Structure 1
Amino acid sequence: MKFNEFGFHTAIMDGINAMGFNTPTPVQQQSIPPIMEGKDVISCAQTGTGKTAAFILPIMNKLSSLPMRLNYTNTLVIVPTRELAMQIDQQLEGFGYYAPVSSVAVYGGNDSLTWEQQRIAIQNGADFIIATPGRLIQHIRMGYVSLDRVEHLVLDEADRMLDMGFYEDIMEIVKLLPVKRQTLLFSATMPTNIRGMAKKIMSNPIEINIAISKPAENVLQAAYIIEDSKKIGLLSHLLKGKEHVKSAIVFASTKIKVRSIEKSLKNESMSVLAIHSDLEQKEREDVLRKFRNRKFQILVATDIIARGIDIEDIDLIVNYDVPHDPEDYVHRIGRTARASSDGVALTFVNKMDQKLFKQIEQFLQAKIFRIPTPENL
């Protein structure tokens, strides 16, 4: 099945194509049709299965098909952490590049300027609010949050939210929403407390269960524990003069880092180009075409741009930064060891990211081998 078989609006398909997506994942294939039909859906889907796009795309499609822009919040997405709120907001930005859809990520741990930006976006009626429960309630208690016209409620990583003690906050928020709405619940597991909550807030939901997604067995995974200041030196050590590495992708967390890595490697006369959101679409396509044709050796990329890269025979993946979510890790290293070939995936882990990396290992149910940092570094 292909994305164009869902009957999406042209603006949505333009966004999907721009990001390089082609084939929907199983959770997307099974969730998108009933969501487009307006049904409540419970999806038991492990991180790494593409669940975010499963609810973003059909809702964005509905909004894009309206004759005029809304001036109120249409969709509320409740998530357990600021990292997930930011990730979903970034994906909305990517998929919605050609669509008339607005969003705001609402989370704590920030300054007064960010609070004010959140307040303005909420008051202006952003189409999507992606929020952690506690911070949203703080805004609600200030008296300017209007949720009485919300048509879609999404609870993402519901089991994690209940584990973190957010049940009462969620139910307080739900009481402010219209009774008639579409509710979508995504959870990696389906314990009794999740089913109990679903029974209270959902109407005849369809249940979808997706098997856990794991990396290919023929990917050799390893990690370096290394300070940020030494990462570029290690990267150069791994890539410079390595003629047996025909194609390598280096993933970094931000486009600023992507540009910096590209510049550093070029200064060492390496064959490298970068792909990021500051490039025009034609420029991105040109970079990918050259990479597929082996015109250069090293591609440096961010997740949001590189998700749709479909290139075989990539020898090496380097995670310059630890991804914030196992979903991104699985996706990144899935770029290698395709079509029964072998591949290597290396991750640079600083002290601050060791907890994130342990979460990835827990998800994979495997310990990833640590390689000692070269003595010269």
Structure 2
Amino acid sequence: MDAFKLLTRSTNFKSAAQTKAKSTARLPSTGKAANPQLFRTAAGEKLESAQNQKKRKRAAAAVEEADEHDTPDLDFFQSSKRSSAAKTEVSESAQSVQEQTTEQDDRSDEEDEMDEVERRTILNSHKIKVTDLRDIDDIPSQIAPETESKKQKKTKKKQKKDEPSVLSKKELKRARRLYPQPLTSFKELRARYKISSRLAENVADQGFTVPTEVQLGTLPLLLGGLSGSSKSAEEPDLLVVAPTGSGKTLSFMIPVINKIVRHHHSSQSDEHGILSIVVAPTKELASQIVNEGRKLVAGTGVKITLMKKGMRVVERSDDDEKEADVLDENSDVSDSEDEEEGEGEEDAEKVKTPSKKIPITKSDILVTTPLQLVNALSEHQTKPLAQLPLVRSLILDEADVLLDPLFREQTLSIWRSCIHPDLRVSLWSATMGSNIDDLIRSTIKERRVEMGLPSAIQDPLIRLVVGLKDSAIPNIEHKLVYAATEQGKLLGLRQLLHPAAASASDVRLRPPFLIFTQTIPRAIALHSELKYDIPAEAGGSSRIAVLHSDLSDTQRSEIMRDFRKGEIWILVTTDLLARGVDFRGINGVVNYDIPNSAAVYVHRVGRTGRAGRTGGIAVTYYTKEDIPYVKSIANIIDVSEKLRGDGSEKSIQKWLLDSLPDLSKKDKKELKKHGVRARQVSKQVDKNGKDGDGKGARGMRISTKSGFERRMENRRKGAIEASRKRKANSSAHAGGDSDKESWNGLDD
């Protein structure tokens, strides 16, 4: 018997090393993701690898042919002058060979278009579904020839009798399905779609090689139209539903920048002004889009600008302005003039003079929030909305929020102000309700009727969905934790901050991570409660911060900068950061308060696991008051775990899904508007004026202090305040008495 084996039987060196490597590798903040694609099957990989092999063989054959025929004979026993001439000849021939090979690659990329079977295989393998949303009568017959042939085979008898055929729901869906040319590599952007060479270099400099699913499907549509060729480009209106962190910003920025570069080089280059508008719901997301766009526009001559307060984006030409001041056509009347009307001509002139000095923004791409642009176009809603005649691209990022009742009127007014006949609209989000489709179709039709444009048959409206609609990304781990009370949630959160103390819990969450609350007061209260939980040697209270909309723009930008730099580890926030903001090193998300809807949950947890990274954790706490609202979140977690398909143990059991109550439509609307009522109302009071559940606001308070401690604190504060009042009153009385005593009347 081997003595070494006997001695080392209880020691497993390999497993320990593996677990250590696994624990470090599974953190999403450790580095870039190896594979940014979330959905990929073996069939799609085989097709893509086969195409890449064809291209490599073609390039190798071209190089061999050039070496055989074009390489000049060299004489090594000759003068130095001749040898240098030979060298230049060789370099010129090599350069010509390289040019020839690139030309051949370009031609081959144009010629080697996939047939419908290959396109369908690749799109299905990446779970990409493309649908034409137009009426079935408006769809050209050449789009889906195969579906028509199948239908003819199945209904030969009916066609012989000349009976009118009515399409079933399945046949209607089949007729609407499209299979455009997918983008298998970023190199095709230059070879097939002829984008700007400088733009292609900027994309390569960012390190992008393999497109994600949303880029694989949308870039060919926006650059080459439904035909898949840039020569006969027919850019559609596009509605995109793709998971969070899948690269949607790059998908809409590349086509917009390329479109503007072409416009600058065309005969219409005399037109200067805003050509594209990107609308985002928050300032943080708008700032992020501008930062990403500036990396792509470097050296292209395209300018991208973030909308700020006080900017002028259009030159007004109202009749009343012309009559009032013919000499100054660029005068900009601010809203403060209307407020100070009637106070005098001097004050009015003081208000006018600074606005005249503000120049019109000279930018090609304007990134803005809805309210800022509407205020700029209507001069703070004091005048009719100005028109944007040059805008050819309108992009709505997080479109479901922008078309929500909160922002809908502002977004639609921006849409109507873009009066160019060739305007194209694209809407992007990770969640999109079915009512958005109908709203977009009706808005497009109304706009065309108002502008007197012809029928919308020539303008396709395409919807592209990646994965399952309105589902969370499958590469993160979800945990749904019952905490019973607010104190239980706070205890569970402290266990996440100190994982050594959480022996019974299997959740291990390392900073940096985000904590979401329902309201701003709760975020502030939670921040003050956790402020000193991080030890001083690790940075103390400077490692945790709170971010909400009541802070100034400067404070918000400073907190965001410090969080990105890693100086802040834990960020307590509201749904302000739930959408679109990209933090590539986030290890997890904590839903301290449950989200107002399933869509908000999808966006919140999407702050981790960006760009295909694995290892992110999403922890959601719920209490007794939250039980009626948990089922929609549990369903999303269940679907996400099914999409993962790795055979791991499910966190949501079937018995839990069956036991959770269903929520009515009315309750869903109330939850979406107000959140959980118990946390929204300051105090719960019944008809008799007493606390309804015996706890009231005390039950919803974020604190670890008992009621007795708080009562004693309040008594102490009340006593201090009362003594201050007594002192103030006594000093006032003393002052009054001294005055009375000192007054002796007038001396004779």
Q: Same fold (TM over 0.5)?
A: yes
For residue 200 of structure 2, the aligned residue among 9, 16, 24 is 9
Of 478, 500, 510, which aligns to 1:248? 510
2:241 maps to which of 42, 45, 55: 45
Task: Pick one of 90, 93, 103 that aligns with 2:305.
Answer: 103
For residues 251-299 of structure 1, the C-alpha deviation after alignment (integer angstroms, 9 at most, x for no partner) is 349xxx9xxx9997463549xx99x9859xxx97xx8xxxxxxxxxx97
**Pick aligned residue for 1:181 from 396, 404, 423:** 423
C-alpha spacing 1:327/1:141, structure 2 compared with 1 (3 Å): same
Give the superposition deviation at 1:75.
0.8
CA contact (8 A) 2:395 2:426 kept: yes
- Tell me: CA distance 1:306–1:171, structure 2 relative to 1, closer, same or farther (3 Å): closer
Q: Give the match for residue 345 of structure 1.
A: 618
**RMSD across aligned positions (CA):** 5.8
Aligned to 2:222: 35
The within-5 A match list for 1:203-214 is: 204-210=459-465, 211-212=468-469, 213-214=471-472
Residue correspondences, number: 325
8 A contact 2:589–2:605 mirrored in 1: no
**2:360 counterpart (104, 111, 123):** 123
Q: Aligned to 1:153, what secondary structure does the other structure show? A: strand
Paired with 1:50 and 1:223, the residues of 2 have a C-alpha distance of 34
Superposed displacement of residue 118, structure 1: 6.7
Could you say which structure has the greater relative contact order, defined with CA pairs below 8 angstroms and 6 or more residues apart?
Answer: 1
Question: Equivalent residue for 2:287?
Answer: 90
1:151 to 392, 397, 401: 392
Q: Which structure 2 residues correspond to residues 298-377 of structure 1 after superposition, within 5 A?
A: 304=581, 306-307=583-584, 317-318=589-590, 326=601, 328-334=603-609, 344-346=617-619, 361=633, 364=636, 375=704
Q: Secondary structure at the match of 2:425?
A: strand
Equivalent pair of 1:133/1:169 in contact (CA under 8 Å): yes
Which structure has the bigger radius of gyration? Answer: 2
Counterpart code for 2:304: S
Closer, same or farther: CA 89–218 of 1 in aligned 2, 3 Å: closer
Distance 1:205 1:326, change over 3 A: farther
Q: Residue in 1 aligned with 2:71?
A: none
* Range 326-335 or range 32-41, more displaced: 326-335
Distance across 2 between alignment mates of 1:337 and 1:55: 19
Q: Which runs of 5+ in 2 are unaligned?
A: 1-183, 191-198, 225-232, 314-354, 449-455, 516-523, 525-529, 545-558, 572-576, 639-651, 661-675, 677-699, 707-748
Q: Deviations over 1:74-111 (max 9, x none)?
A: 212346xxxx2425413313312433442234xxxxxx
- Letter of the aligned partner of 2:201 in structure 1? T
Contact 1:78 1:133 in 2 (8 A): yes
How big is each residue's C-alpha offset from its partner over 1:143-180, in whole Å with a ceiling of 9 and x where there is no partner?
89662222212245556555528469736753543212
CA offset at residue 197 of structure 1?
2.2
Task: Report the 3-state secondary structure (helix = DSSP H, G, I; strand = E; otherwise coil) of the residue aligned with 1:124.
Answer: coil
Residue of structure 2 aligned with 1:72, choices 273, 281, 284: 273
2:309 and 2:372 in contact (8 A); partners too: no
Q: What is the CA-CA distance between 1:54 and the residue it aligns to?
A: 2.7
Per-residue deviation at 1:3? Answer: 5.2
Q: Which residue of 2 aligns with 1:220?
A: 479
Q: Distance in 2 between matches of 1:262 and 1:5?
A: 51
Q: Identity over aligned residues, as a percent?
A: 20
Query: 1:141 maps to which residue?
Result: 378
> Are the equivalent residues in 2 in contact too, given 1:73–1:129 (CA < 8 A)?
yes
Q: Which shifted more, 360-369 or 174-183?
A: 360-369
Structure 2 SS opposite 1:96: helix
- Give the Cα–Cα distance (whole angstroms) in 2 for the partners of residues 53 and 325 of structure 1: 23
What is the CA-CA distance between 1:35 and the residue it aligns to? Answer: 1.4
Contact residue 253 and residue 293 of structure 2 kept, 8 A: no
- The structure-2 alpha-carbon separation of the partners of 1:3 and 1:336, relative to structure 1 and needing over 3 Å to count, comes to closer
Partner Cα separation in structure 2 for residue 180 and residue 118 of structure 1 = 24
Structure 1: any 5+ residue segments left out of the alignment?
106-113, 288-297
What's the CA shift for 1:117? Answer: 4.7
- Compared with structure 1, are the counterparts of its residues 338 and 364 closer, same or farther at alpha carbon in structure 2 (3 Å cutoff)? same
Deviation at 1:11, TM superposition (A): 2.8
1:195 aligns with 2:468: no
Give the 3 Å change call, closer, same or farther, for CA 90–328 of structure 1 in structure 2.
Answer: farther
Given that residues 102 and 128 in structure 1 are in contact (C-alpha distance below 8 angstroms), is that contact kept between their aligned partners in structure 2? yes
Q: Deviations over 1:305-340 (max 9, x none)?
A: 633x5x9xx6x554689999655423234369977x
